[in-house]
Every structure is written in structure tokens, then in C-alpha cells.
Amino acid sequence: MMNATRFRTLLITACAVVGSPPSDALAARLRAGVAKVDITNTGAGPINDPLFVKALVIKDDATTVVVVTVDAVAIGEIGHIRNDYLSKVRSRLEKELGIKPQSVLVNASHCHGVVCADVDERTFQAVKQAASHLVPVNVGAGVGHENRIMENRRLRLKSGKEADVRHAYALPPDEEVVGTGPVDPEIGVLRLDREDGRTLAVVYNFACHPIMGVPSGGNTADLTGFASKAIEDNLSDGTIALFLQGCGGDVNPALYKDVDNPRNAEPLGNLLGLSTLRALKTIRSKDDGRLKVIHETIALPRADVAKRIIAMESEQQALLQSLQGTSLNLKTFLPLAVKYGVSGDYPSYYSHRYMSEKAAGRDDLTRLDAENRVNMKQYVDNIHIMEQLTRTQTNLALLRKHQADNAAAGSKTVDVEVLGVRVGDFVLVTFPGELTVQTGLDVKQASPHDLTFVAGYTNGYIYYAPTAEQLKNVGGAQEDSDCILAPEWQKIYEDTVAELLKKL
């Protein structure tokens, strides 16, 4: 059976080849320019691969759209980009290049690399360079497919609650886990080609935390940096690939908690890059003058988790009190765990001794084994309680921080920017936080446009934005704890996006 993604690719290719262009595609040919500037912090220890700010400027006679991608964790609030970055960049672009602030889209890849201090200046330089080298372009859009490199990081537990996969704490025991959430294998792709057929730029959108790291431990743009390099190296000279992070809030790289092999973003990034290149081969560009940008500011409700904090504090107390006295300590437990794991029936000595005791009417070893097994179970139960306490404590700290910040904000709502952009068949909406993958799937499903994509981490950062359903689990996982929003945010955002998509 042909899957939806593949069908969409074929449909778009077919339209590009045999279909007549829509009437509004007869507008003047678009012009575009692209540039990239290194923003690696050279004073922050060893460098594995460079971080970049990349700028794409697309213009017709009436409209200018600027797409900026930054290899950084977020646009302000956390990490190394300061809160005044976006306003500084925008006001300078307006003053010196006449570009309206509302038409500037800045997306953070969410890699955890360390950028230089003057990233705002270098961002301006990248846009200026792109804007001063505009050439006529043909545009094309489509989708690629990649499902090997990522996994949903929220684990559904037998208890009905959810936990998540982090290095900040231990996972629940395997037998408590009954399932995981969805992923979005779609790569949204926009290509801009020069009139002579050479590629100028590729914009691609995918949902996954780029946090795998590299074996050297050096500064890295992580898997999306490697993906962009694979794309750039395999297209026309000078092609620039701009990665737009999608709804990756609850999506991790596959094997993120591996302890047997050095964790390496490069093979994952290469797979993403190759899958994007494969999609590009199916996408024909054409003279399509449709270019639109819509900017909206919406107020989203802030959370009040005071009651949940009190409930979690008593859960924490109950967990502490459930720790039981054990005869064993780590030094005596570990060798027992190995012996009882290797030789279930005769852990304490060779089997013949158990037989000899039985023949003599004794059961000394069997009794010792029974006692050790009780002690080991108590010790393991304590370990699981300790692991649960690490999760509770970490997520409780996040709830307390955001509860304090929300109280200090002096407003029950937070204003956020939402952008809608159309370039030819490529339609994109944005959000300034970590949307989880279900929201991206929902927006795509409900959109009237076939090639609709969603970029989180754009034009600001308001932490995680889990779905209302995920927020029933407040305090259980990072996404629902590292969050300032009340569950009602989701409907407001999705309604706004639905209206915005109609206008694109």
C-alpha cells in the first residue's frame, strides 16, 4: 500500500510536471539570496564541527521573507543566545536593510552547541550578505521520509502515567513500560534553484532533538549539522541547506541512552541528509511566484501548578518512607546479583554440594539462597525507589521554577509570536517553544494545504508546549514539567493556526 507521505511526493511531482500552474503562480518570478556565517565559540573548548547562522532572503516586488536558522539550543531564555538577540537583529535589519521585523523568521535547531558572543552581529551579516546577492529562482516543495534515527521519548507506564528518556535521571524498570508515543517521519523540503538549474538553497524541516553529541565531546551542531553538510556537499557548489527544527519536543535520537558505544550524531545526521537528498531528486522546481508571510501575536494562558507541587511533595515523602532496611550494601549486592543471575538453581556453590546436602537430609545452602534472594529483592526495590526519587526531584524543581516565574510575570497570559509563510507550494507555521510531535501531526492533518509543515523553536523560547493530554501527566516527565502553559494553550494555538492557514 502506498503511504500518505509517498503519495504526497508523487502528487506534487506530477503537478510540477504535467499540471498547469495555479493562476496566482503567474506573479513575477521570485528572487532569493542565501548566506552562512560561522558562529562557533572558539573559546569554549575543543571544536568537533562548526556551528552556523544561515540566512535565506526571498523577495517579490511587494514582499520580503527572511528565514534564519541558528545552530543553537534556543532563541533566548536558555543557552547562549541572549533575550535581546531577536529584537536587536530585527531592528538592525529594519533600519539598515528596510526589512520589516514581522517578516523575519529565526529558528533554532535546538542543538546544544556553544555559539559565539556576537551571534547577533553575525546574524545581521548573514542576512545582509544574502540580501545583496539576490538571483531569480524557481521553487519546488515536497516531502522526504526518515524513521530510523529517532524515537518518541515519552514512555507509557502500566500505572497510566508517563515517564521520559533523559540523561538527567534513570528510566523506570522495563516491565513497567507498556508503550511509547508517535514520531513524524516526514521531512518537509523546499528547494530554490537558479534559472540555469543549479541549486541555490534547500530548506528542510524535521522533528528530533539534535542532542546525540559526538564521541570527542567537542562543540558540535549535532545531527542536523551533519545532515546539512551532507546535503550541501552533494548539490551544486555553494548550495546552502537550512534546517528548521519541527515539533521535536518529545522526540529523541535513537539509542540516546546507549552506554556500550560512544554516542555519535554523525551517522544519524548522514541518514537524515541522505533521505533529504532522495526527496530532492523527486522535487522539480518551477517558476512559482507565490510568496506570503503573516505575523500574529497570541496570548496563551499560564499554568498554575501550586496544587500539583503540594501533591508531589507528599508523593516524595511517601517514597522516602517506603525505603526499607536492608542487610546488603552495594559491595555485597553486586557479586550476589552476578552469581544469582548466572546460576539460578545453584548460586552459592557447585550443584554437587546441594545434592550432597539433600542426601544427608540438610538444606543449609538452599536456606542461604532463600535469605539472599529476599535481601536482594529489598535492595533492588530500594534502588527503584531511589530512581523514582531522582525523577520526582528533577521534575518538581522544574515545576517550582516555572510556578515562581509565572507568579512573577504579573500576567495570567504570555504573548507569543506565530508566523505563517508560503513559498510556492511550501507552507509553514511556527511556534516559539518546544511543540511535541502530536501537535505537528495534528496541524498537518487539519491543514487545507498538502505541503504544510510546522517549526517550533522559532522567534523566541517559552519552554515546552506539550499537548493538553500530555499535561494530565504534570510532574511525570520533562515536557509536562518544564512548561509554563496551561492545557488550554493547545486549542488557542491550533485555532489560530487553522485561521492563519486559510489565509496562506
Nearer to Zn ion, 193 or 434 (CB): 434
Q: What are phi and psi of 136, to 5 degrees?
A: -65, 140
Query: Shortest approach of Zn ion to residue 397 CB, angstroms?
Result: 16
Nearest-approach distance from CB 497 to Zn ion, in angstroms: 21
> In 3D, which of 275, 283, 267 has the Cα closest to residue 185?
275
Residue 440 corresponds to which cell in the numbers above?
505537528
In 3D, which of 280, 316, 336 has the Cα closest to residue 396? 316
Could you say which residues in the range 139-168 bind Zn ion, by CB under 5 A? none
Closest residue to Zn ion in the complex (CB): 434
CB nearer Zn ion, residue 425 or residue 434 = 434
Q: How far apart are CA 279 and CA 121, in angstroms?
A: 34
| CB of 434 vs Zn ion, minimal distance in Å | 5
**How many of the chain's residues bind Zn ion (CB under 5 A)?**
1
Q: In angstroms, rounded to a whole number, what is the distance separating the alpha carbons of residues 106 and 93? A: 13
* Closest CB to Zn ion among residues 9, 470: 470
Measured from the CB of residue 426, what is the shortest distance to Zn ion in angstroms?
A: 25
Query: 411-450 mask for Zn ion (x: CB under 5 A)?
Result: -----------------------x----------------
Q: Choose between 110 and 295: whose C-beta lies nearer to Zn ion.
A: 110
Q: Is 306 helix (H, G, I), strand (E, B) or coil?
A: helix
Q: Which of residues 434 and 480 has its CB atom nearest to Zn ion in the complex?
A: 434
Smallest distance from Zn ion to CB 223, Å: 14
CB of 484 to Zn ion, least distance (A): 14
Nearer to Zn ion, 288 or 434 (CB): 434
Cα 200 versus chain centre, distance = 27
Q: How far is the CB of 164 from Zn ion (least distance, A)?
A: 11
475 near 395, Cβ under 8 Å?
Answer: yes
Give the DSSP per-residue string, 433-499: SEE-HHHHHHHHHH-SSSSEEEE-SBSS--BEE--TTGGGGTTSSHHHHSB-B-TTHHHHHHHHHHH
Task: Report the nearest approach of Zn ion to the CB of residue 371 (Å).
Answer: 47
Nearer to Zn ion, 31 or 391 (CB): 391
* Cell (9 digits) for 94: 529594519
Report the residue number, 138 or 252, with the smaller CB distance to Zn ion.
Answer: 252
Indicate the residue among 79 and 185 with the shorter CB distance to Zn ion.
Answer: 79
Closest approach, Cβ 366 to Zn ion, in A, equals 52
- Contact present, 192 and 291 (Cβ < 8 Å): no
Helix axes 364-408, 351-359, angle to 10 degrees: 130
Among candidate residues 272, 140, 266, the one with its CA nearest the CA of residue 201: 140
**How many C-alpha atoms does 352 have within 13 Å on its Cβ side?**
0
Whose Cβ is closer to Zn ion: residue 37's or residue 70's?
A: 70
For residue 270, the tally of other CB atoms under 10 A from its CB is: 16
Handedness of CA 54, 147, 268, 390 (dihedral sign): positive
Please work out, in degrees rounded to the nearest 5, the angle formed at the alpha carbon of residue 28 by the alpha carbons of 22 and 30: 95
Site for Zn ion in 37-66 (CB under 5 A): none
Rg, C-alpha atoms of the chain: 27
**Please, what is the minimum distance in Å from the beta carbon of residue 337 to Zn ion?**
35
Contact positions toward Zn ion, by CB under 5 A?
434
